Amino acid sequence: MDMRRLVGRNFARIRRAQGLTQEQVEERSGHNQQYLSSLERGRRNPTVVTLFELAQALGVSHVELVQPDGEEAAPTSQGSLKPGNPRKRRAGSP
Domain annotation covers residue 93: no
Q: How far apart are CA 93 and CA 37, in angstroms?
A: 45
Domain annotation covers residue 20: yes
Total domains, the chain: 1
Domain annotation covers residue 88: no
72 pLDDT more than 90: no
Average pLDDT over residues 15-41: 98
Domain annotation covers residue 72: no
Question: pLDDT value at position 67?
Answer: 96
pLDDT tens digits, 36-53: 999 999 999 999 999 999
What is this structure's pTM? 0.74
| Buried-exposed string 66-90: b where 16+ CB fall within 10 A, e elsewhere | beeeeeeeeeeeeeeeeeeeeeeee
Domain annotation covers residue 79: no
Range of the domain at 15: 3-66
Domain annotation covers residue 92: no
CATH code at 24? 1.10.260.40
Domain annotation covers residue 84: no
Average the pLDDT over each of 7-16, 34-43, 79-88 and give the range with the smallest value: 79-88
91 pLDDT more than 70: no
Q: How far apart are CA 83 and CA 62, in angstroms?
A: 35
Length of the chain counted residue by residue: 94
